[in-house]
Each structure stands twice: as structure tokens, then as C-alpha cells.
Structure 1
Amino acid sequence: MKHGKRYVEAAKLVDRSVQYDANEAVAILKKTAVAKFDETIELHIRTGLDGRHADQQIRGAVVLPHGTGKTVKILVFAKGAKADEALAAGADYVGAEELIPKIQNEGWLDFDVIVATPDMMGVVGRLGKILGPKGLMPNPKAGTVTMDVTKAIADIKAGKVEYRLDKTNLVHVPVGKASFSEQQLLENFQSIMDAINKAKPSTVKGAYLKSIVLTSTMGPGIRLNVAKLVG
């Protein structure tokens, strides 16, 4: 794969044979994120889990102390008083069955997160084939299937991110934006690592976390010292 001039220059700042401490990695990231837009800083973790086994799945959410730097659009599936509550709490869209054809037939997906009250999951389930592959299905573990829609919306707006194992046993989580200070990025990163360490299944055999990489949208990956990050 051929890389542009900026990437090549940025890559010179990273020694691929070194596993960096988190503070060193963040300092380098700030220098390598040189795109003309505010790049997202991402965390990629290769785990020793086998996601084919239900007892080795990890999924959850964490509210980042400094948010994600991204404005998130929230769709809430709710009725009656809960629909009113969702609107009052700042949801961007609120609805019920009438949204099914809009999403199914018109391909409407102008939202980033879906929150649903438990009684609406039968309705949302009909959209599983569309929402599932896009990672948009609400889930109790992520706090997006709940009667407390006010708290769910407040957490998401404050910078709640979801983490979960993908089909290749990797976890990908946004940490913040390149415009954040090093301290903000480090605190967000530490919050995610604390949550992932806490989520470790008791059934895992061998190493839980095999490699941890921080990268910006357009920049090279920076490998972290895993031993120092395993709780």
C-alpha cells in the first residue's frame, strides 16, 4: 500500500520495534496527526479471547472524562411519557413503529446511537438485519436498552463510548480528537483501559490483551507496552 508524503514523514517519528508507554505514545500522536481536519485518535486492542464462546465475549460502555470531541445524534425508540422524556433530555429523534419503514425502505440512518425502552425492543428487533451489521442495535450491557432514557442520553452526550469484541477478536474504541491536550487523551485512554481490564472474563486462557495500538485517522499505529497496561 502506497502512503502519501505526510504519512511517510509522520511514520519516521515512530520506531516500530519499540513498545511505548502511553504518555510517550500520546506525545508522538500529537505530532503525527497532521491532516487538515481534526483527526480521531483510536485505540485498537488484539485480545486472546475467542469470541465464538459466549463466556469470552466482552461488551460494555464507558463515559470518557473529556468526551469524544464528536457531536452524536441519538435516536430513541419510546412511547408516551418516555418519548416526551427523551425529547426533553435532548434526543435528536424519537419514535416507534412508524420509524420502521423509514429505516427499512428509505435507508434513513441519520443517527449515531439508538436508545430503546425495553418494551420497544420487539419493534427494534425487526430492524436487526440493518442495524446489527452497523453496530447500532441497542444493548442492555451498553446501557442503551433502559427505562432511564434521561441518563442514557446524558451519558452519550457527555462522551460515552461502547467497546466490544469484533469477529476477529479485536476491540476498537475512539479515545478523542487530535486537538485534545495530551492530558485529556491520556485520561480518556486510561478510563477505557480500566473498563476493559475490569471486563476480563474469568474463562480466558493465556494472555487477555496481546497487543495495544494507538493511532490517528491518517497516521501510523504506535504500539504500547502491554505489560504496563494489564490490570
Structure 2
Amino acid sequence: MFRGKKYTDSAKLIDKGTFYDTAEGMGLVCKCAVAKFDETVELHVKLGVDSRHADQQVRGAIVLPHGTGKTVRVLVFAKDDKAEAAREAGADYVGDMDMVEKIQKENWFDFDVVVASPDMMGLVGRLGKVLGPKGLMPSPKAGTVTPDVAKAVKEVKAGKIEYRLDKTNIIHCPIGKASFGPEKLAENYNALMGAIVKAKPAAAKGQYIRSCVVASTMGPGVKMNAAKLV
């Protein structure tokens, strides 16, 4: 696979056989983020669980100490007082049936997170086939189905992220931007890893964290020493 000169030069800074401690690893990630834009830094964790079993699912949400550096667009399904509270909390779009129709008829997806009050889930359920595959379906586990929609909107805007396993038992999550610098990225990383470790299913056997890699958008992966966190 062809790699550009910047990537090749960055890769030389990293020893592929080394598992880096948090501070050193984040320092390397920042050094390797040499693109002309502010690169997103992502965490990729492979877990020793089987996501096909319901009792081995790992899923949750956490507000990162320093947010993600990304502006998140929030769509809220709510009525009356709750709709007003959501608007005041900074929701980008608020509605009920009108939003359902907009998504169905116009194939509209100009939002990153969906929040809904419990009484709206019958309506939102009609969008399951389109929201589900995109990972946008609200859920109580992620805190996006809640009577307090205003609080949910504020948390999402403050940098709340959802983590969940994909089909290959890997969690992929942004932990900030390269411009955050090593210290802030380290704090976000520790917060997210702490949440993932706490979410270990009782049914999980053997080594829980199989591998842990952090990388910027265009940079090489840095292997992290996650053993200390378990």
C-alpha cells in the first residue's frame, strides 16, 4: 500500500514493537499529526468478548473532560415544554412528525446525534431502518432516550460520546483533536478507557483488552500499554 512521505516520516518516530504509556503515546500521536488540517485523534480498542452474545455487549456513553473538538449537530424528538427546553439547551433541530417525514421523504441526515423523549419513541421507531444502520437510533443505554432532553442536549454539546462494539469486537471512538496537545488527549483517553474497563461484561472470559491503538486521521497508529488500566 502506497504511503505518502509525511506518513512514512511519521512512522519512523514510532517503534512498532513498543507499547507506549499514556503520556508518551499521546506525545507521539501529536508529533505525527502533520496534515494541514486539525486532525481528529481516534482510539481503537479490540476487546476479548463476543459481540454476538447479548451478555457480552459493551456499550455506553461518557462526557469527555475536554470534549471532542467537534461541533455536534443534535436533532431532538419532543413536544411542548420538552421541545422548548431542548431549543433553549442548544438543540439544532427540534420536532416530531415533521422531522420523521423530512428524513423519510427528503433523505435528510444533517445531524450527528438524535435525542428523544420516551413518549416519542413510537414515532421514532418508524425510522429504525434508516437510523439504525447509521448508528443514530436513540437508546436509553446511551442516554439519548430520556425525559430530560435538555440535559441530554447539553451533555452531547459538551463532548459526550457513545462507545459500542462493532461486529469485529472493536470500539472506535474520537478522543479529541491533535491541537488539544498531549495532556488533554491523555485525560480524554484515560476517561474513555476507564469507562470501557468498567463496562466489562460479567460473561467476558480471558484477556479483556486485546489491543489498544491511538491514531490521528492521517497519522500512523501508536500501540498503547493498556495493561495498567485493567
TM interval, shorter chain, is over 0.9
Partner of 2:92: 92
Question: What CA RMSD, in Å, does the superposition of the two structures yield over aligned residues?
Answer: 0.8
Letter aligned with residue 211 of structure 1: S
- Aligned counterparts of 2:219 and 2:183: Cα–Cα separation in 1: 20
Matches of 2:155 and 2:199 in 1, distance apart?
A: 19
Match of 1:200 in 2: 200
CA deviation string 1:146-175 (max 9, x = no partner):
011111011111110110011111001110
Structure 2 CA distance, aligned partners of 1:87 and 1:151? 11
Distance across 2 between alignment mates of 1:44 and 1:15: 18
Question: Aligned to 2:179, what secondary structure does the other structure show?
Answer: coil
Within 5 Å, which residues of 2 pair with 1:78-89?
Answer: 78-89=78-89
Match of 1:227 in 2: 227
Deviation of the 1:85 alpha carbon = 1.0
Aligned length: 230
Match of 1:54, as an amino acid? Answer: A
- 1:31-46 matched pairs, under 5 angstroms: 31-46=31-46
Q: Does 1:130 align with 2:130?
A: yes
The equivalent of 1:216 in structure 2 is 216
> 1:4 and 2:42 equivalent?
no
Which letter maps to 1:196? I
Distance between the aligned counterparts of 1:161 and 1:21, measured in 2?
23
Q: TM-score, normalised by structure 1?
A: 0.98
Is residue 185 of structure 1 aligned with residue 204 of structure 2? no
Cα distance in 2 for partners of 1:227, 1:187 equals: 17
Q: Partners in 1 of 2:76 and 2:51 — Cα distance?
A: 29
Runs (4 or more) in structure 1 with deviation over 2 Å come to none
1:125 deviation in Å? 1.1
- In structure 2, what is the equivalent of residue 73 of structure 1? 73
Alignment partners' CA distance in 2, 1:41 and 1:106? 33
1:18-167 aligned at under 5 Å gives the runs 18-167=18-167
Q: Distance in 2 between matches of 1:224 and 1:184?
A: 16
Q: Describe the superposition over 1:171-218 as per-residue Cα deviations: whole angstroms up to 9, x where unpaired.
A: 011100000021111111111011111101111011111000000000
DSSP-derived class of the 2:196 partner:
helix
Q: Cα deviation per residue 1:31-85 (whole Å; 9 max; x = unaligned)?
A: 1000010000000000011011101001110101111101111000001111111
- The CA distance in 1 between the partners of 2:192 and 2:176, in whole Å, is 11
Instruction: Return the alpha-carbon distance in structure 1 between the equivalents of residues 182 and 7 of structure 2.
Output: 21
CA distance in 1, matches of 2:37, 2:13: 20
Which TM-score applies when normalising by structure 2? 0.98
Q: Secondary structure at the match of 2:106?
A: coil
- Distance in 2 separating the partners of 1:14 and 1:3: 15
State how far apart, in whole Å, the 2-side matches of 1:227 and 1:92 are. 40
Secondary structure at the aligned position of 1:142 is classed as coil
Give me the whole-angstrom Cα distance separating, in 1, the residues matched to 2:150 and 2:124: 19
1:81-116 deviation digits (Å, cap 9, x = unpaired): 111111111100001011122112211100110000
